[in-house]
Chain A
Amino acid sequence: MQNKILLSIIIFIISLLQFSCGSKKASQKIIVASYGKIESLDPANATTLKSVQLLNSLGDTLYELNPQGELIPELASEMPIFSEDKLQVFINLRKDILFHDGTPFNSNAIKFTFDRFKKIGKRSYILADKIKSIDTPSEYKVIINLKKPSSSLNGLLTSVNLTPISPTFYKEYSEKFLNDKFVGTGKYILSRFSNEIQVIDPNLNYWGKKPNNKGITFVSYSNSSSLFGALKSKQIDVLLSNSIDDIQRNSLSLQSKNKKIQEGNSPATELTFISLRTNAYPLNNSNVRLAISKSFNRKLISKKVSYGLRSPSRSIVPPILRKDNQDLWPKYNPSEAKKLLQKEGYCNGNVLNIPLTYRSSVPADKLIALTWQEDIKNVLNNCIDIQLDGVEATTVYDKLDSGIYTAVILDWTGLYSDPNAYLMPLLSCSEIDDEKCNKGQSVLSGSFWGSIKVENLFNESEEINGFERLDKLFQIEKLASESIPYIPIWVSSQKAWSQNNISKPTFNGAGIISLSDLKLINE
């Protein structure tokens, strides 16, 4: 009897093993997995990085940023031309391009897409103070009328949120979202959509270079361990995620060094920083802020928290978007920090208390806070005391502008590829009173710092292009680095890991994976 039971169990396990091997790969499509599900494939409603990644393969933008950070025309046939007063932008479009539904791509499609985004787009604020209207003088020519000169418009035109969609297909959806379908001009056509799995097939009529693969299956997992395990057990071909735990990132990086898998990195686009409330005691004192900045050991924190996988940054603009050597924030120097604090009356029995808030739902934040706290205890024990307070992320965002956080760890990824997409949200202010901002973006970022000089430079930078503009933006950041409303910590890149039978993942300059370049090597 016992033998029969044992035999049955063995047969059951063998049949399961056979079943698992047989059913695992029944398609030539590449399986790309990432964290979190896709709620919407409507460019006007897409706010998550994952939906942006997928939309980028289903649609084309007017311009794209190449891996070197240069603007290249995509649906536009040439670079944008600005009028003399800088209030109009002329864009010529490529001809003979069809949407996935067979209708032609033309200037009306651009107008429809931009107007729809302005009307219902979740992030329509990125256009709000820039674009006044769109004119379509001919089928393949578009004129963008600006409210004021805007040199950052070029970067804005690379935004996936402005991916042109078919006016015919979206006719009924001009004022509401269409979440589960997408009709654009891209390399792939959406063939199946659910929140958890999306399947895309190559667009056989694509106007440009065709994809290197026979399609992609996008799957989502709801936790980091599942993603890690799925790649390890070869249940997926590519793991695309910036959300997996640092310890697992490190393990995957080690495996790629040992040639067990391949690792692709995007240019760093996500900035992690500490926002300092500059309008109230104790951080209204710029020397105190300078001392705190000098007490921040980025190298140690990067090594301890991210195993050195995130690059320490002394700038609030990612390297791909800024001039070389733009590391403007002060270096780690605890002895100078001590001198500054002593000058301000701290250290000799008077300890500076800094409440540091971190987002409890972001594991790295807590580790950053703990590591800094410990380092301060070692090097500036009698001068600074960091008190930690974990608050759920949504609550932090809600209360940032109320000024209840003395110092808070945050992150930011620009909504389009331009230095302004980092500088404006952190530094711009519409109502300034003696270096204190009463109203504006810096209030929403929790620093309450404002500078008339910075505002003037922002305005000047919108009217010029090229190196001259970059120089103005450099000056803006320099002013900020002298006043220290923020302490940049590190910049993170998107990473993707693939099995060895798949080509190494590549990214564009905006940190978006190029799904069409993924290739089965033994194909």
Chain B
Amino acid sequence: MSKDLSKIYNYSLLKLSLIPLMLWVISTLVFILLRIAPGDPVDAILGSGADEVSREMLRNRLGLNEPVLDQYITYINNILHLNFGQSLSTEEPVLNIILKSLPATLELGFFSILSAIIIGFTLGFIGLRYKGKRGDYIIRIIGIASYAIPPFWGAMLAQLIFSVYFNIFPIGGRFPIFQNQHHITGFLVLDSFLSNDFIGLREGLYHLALPSLTLGFLLSGIFSRSLRINLDKSLKSDYVNAAITRGVSRRRIILNHALPNALLPIVTISGLTIASLAGGALLFEVTFSWPGIALRLHEAISQRDYTLVQGIVIITSLLIVSLNLLVDIFIALLDPRIEY
């Protein structure tokens, strides 16, 4: 590889050095926005029937009576010490709550992307194989439909068909009802595997199947369409024509020459898809009662659980920025034409 790795290294360092600044901006914005937004965590916790004395007592206990500037300084100081504080509603450490919910979202995201790639690539290849024929048109329609369908509607439809009418999959939830889950990493499938609990693994996959396949299907259109278009474009390139004239087999042309070039834009799309997943995960998690970070964030916002919202937003932002950086580096390594 003739790539100048020092340029990528410098680029990565620059990006990494900007992460703390970006996190400070995000955490400050979240802090300010939550305080500006109407609603009081004490009302959410106590309800409207509590008297003023009880409200004041709880405000004092939760530190909400401190001046906002003092609250902000404490908050930033705590973050610098990797202390995200305690949830206002449950008084449980925020980091514990995040560590319980985040693996669920990452697990769902991973299997959804995997399904999307498998479904998308399969459809993309078939479309190209039957280019201009009926199969190609059907796959194109499926592709367009998959990313035109609103995720929540697609999720409800899948739930209705596969869980309610055919009763093939569980209607929601992440954990098998009659199975104790293992807590090693928080990733149910991985933990079951590490514990040699194959019944747990089967049950975990069974619960994961419908949400991840549905989300995978909804994301697959973008993969199938871009593979179909980019591979088709690559197959018309001069280097492919040269390979054909040299008598290289079609299979080898596709796998060794055309596909690697067609994959580059798809890697970029994957990075963007992961970022958009963070936003789209909420409705999906609500529909499938999936106890992930997006559902937790939704609950925390409605409860005005300031510390939990702040913690989740910071961790999620950090994850998305890190993933985007990794994708940037990966693309630069793959494509010699890209320079930073």
Q: Which residues of A contact B (CB under 8 A)?
A: 13, 16-17, 19-20, 23, 26-27, 29, 31, 37, 39-40, 45, 47, 122-125, 128, 176-177, 179, 192, 194-197, 217, 219-223, 225-226, 229-230, 232-235, 361, 392-395, 397-400, 410, 412, 415, 425, 439, 441, 444-445
Q: How far is the CA of A194 from the CA of B96 in the complex (A)?
A: 13
Contacts of B171 in A (CB 8 A): 221, 226, 229-230, 233, 235
Given contacts A122-B46, A229-B159, A425-B49, contact A398 B38 (CB under 8 A): yes
Interface size in chain B (residues, C-beta < 8 A) = 55
**Nearest Cβ in chain B — how far from A429, in angstroms?**
12
Contact present for A124 and B173 (CB under 8 Å): no
**Nearest Cβ in chain B — how far from A451, in angstroms?**
18
121-139 of chain B: CB within 8 A of chain A: none
Q: How far is the CA of A173 from the CA of B173 in the complex (A)?
A: 31
Q: How far is the CA of A205 from the CA of B170 in the complex (A)?
A: 35
Contact present for A225 and B156 (CB under 8 Å): yes
**B328, CB-defined interface residue at 8 Å:** no
Q: List 28 A-B contacts (CB under 8 A).
A: A20-B206, A45-B90, A45-B91, A47-B46, A125-B53, A128-B51, A128-B53, A176-B91, A179-B90, A195-B291, A197-B173, A217-B177, A221-B173, A223-B287, A225-B156, A225-B159, A229-B163, A233-B164, A233-B167, A233-B171, A235-B171, A394-B38, A394-B39, A397-B39, A397-B44, A399-B38, A425-B49, A444-B52
**B60, CB-defined interface residue at 8 Å:** no
Q: How far is the CA of A518 from the CA of B202 in the complex (A)?
A: 30
Given contacts A125-B50, A222-B286, contact A229 B91 (CB under 8 A): no
Given contacts A229-B159, A444-B52, contact A219 B168 (CB under 8 A): no
**Nearest Cβ in chain B — how far from A110, in angstroms?**
22
Q: How far is the CA of A176 from the CA of B93 in the complex (A)?
A: 13
Contact present for A226 and B289 (CB under 8 Å): yes
**B45, CB-defined interface residue at 8 Å:** yes
Contacts of A26 in B (CB 8 A): 178
**Nearest Cβ in chain B — how far from A9, in angstroms?**
13
Contact present for A39 and B38 (CB under 8 Å): no
**B169, CB-defined interface residue at 8 Å:** yes
- Pairs A-B, 3 closest by C-beta atoms: A125-B54, A394-B39, A397-B43
186-214 of chain B: CB within 8 A of chain A: 202-203, 206
The CB with the most chain B CB atoms within 10 A, among A128, A195, A222, A399, is that of: A222
Contacts of B181 in A (CB 8 A): 194
**B302, CB-defined interface residue at 8 Å:** yes
**Nearest Cβ in chain A — how far from B264, in angstroms?**
30
**B141, CB-defined interface residue at 8 Å:** no
Contact present for B302 and A400 (CB under 8 Å): no
Given contacts A226-B289, A229-B159, A395-B38, contact A47 B177 (CB under 8 A): no
Q: Which residue of B lies closest to A401 (CB)?
A: B52
Contacts of B40 in A (CB 8 A): 394, 397-398
Of the candidates A23, A233, A394, the one whose C-beta lies within 8 Å of that of B304 is: A394
Contact present for B54 and A397 (CB under 8 Å): no
Contacts of A425 in B (CB 8 A): 49
Of the candidates B43, B168, B286, B291, the one whose C-beta lies within 8 Å of that of A196 is: B291
Q: How far is the CA of A17 from the CA of B91 in the complex (A)?
A: 43
Contacts of A398 in B (CB 8 A): 38-40, 43
Of the candidates B39, B168, B180, B295, the one whose C-beta lies within 8 Å of that of A192 is: B180
**B13, CB-defined interface residue at 8 Å:** no
Contact present for B47 and A397 (CB under 8 Å): yes
Interface string of B17-60 (1 = CB under 8 A from A): 00000000000000000000011100111111111111000100
Dominant secondary structure at the A interface: mixed
Of the candidates A29, A39, A441, the one whose C-beta lies within 8 Å of that of B90 is: A39
**Nearest Cβ in chain B — how far from A122, in angstroms?**
6
**B145, CB-defined interface residue at 8 Å:** no
Contacts of A219 in B (CB 8 A): 173, 177
Contact present for B173 and A196 (CB under 8 Å): yes
Contact present for B169 and A20 (CB under 8 Å): yes
Q: Which residue of A lies closest to B40 (CB)?
A: A398
**Nearest Cβ in chain B — how far from A360, in angstroms?**
12
In addition to A398-B40, A444-B50, 13 A-B residue pairs with Cβ atoms within 8 Å of each other are A45-B91, A47-B46, A194-B175, A195-B291, A196-B289, A222-B285, A226-B287, A395-B39, A397-B48, A398-B39, A412-B49, A441-B51, A445-B48
Q: How far is the CA of A237 from the CA of B48 in the complex (A)?
A: 34
Contacts of A20 in B (CB 8 A): 167-169, 206
Contacts of B291 in A (CB 8 A): 37, 195-196
Q: How far is the CA of A144 from the CA of B51 in the complex (A)?
A: 23
Contacts of A13 in B (CB 8 A): 168
The CB with the most chain A CB atoms within 10 A, among B39, B49, B52, is that of: B49
Q: How far is the CA of A515 from the CA of B92 in the complex (A)?
A: 29
Of the candidates A45, A222, A399, the one whose C-beta lies within 8 Å of that of B172 is: A222
Contact present for A441 and B49 (CB under 8 Å): yes
**B228, CB-defined interface residue at 8 Å:** no
**Nearest Cβ in chain B — how far from A438, in angstroms?**
12
Q: Which residue of B lies closest to A40 (CB)?
A: B90
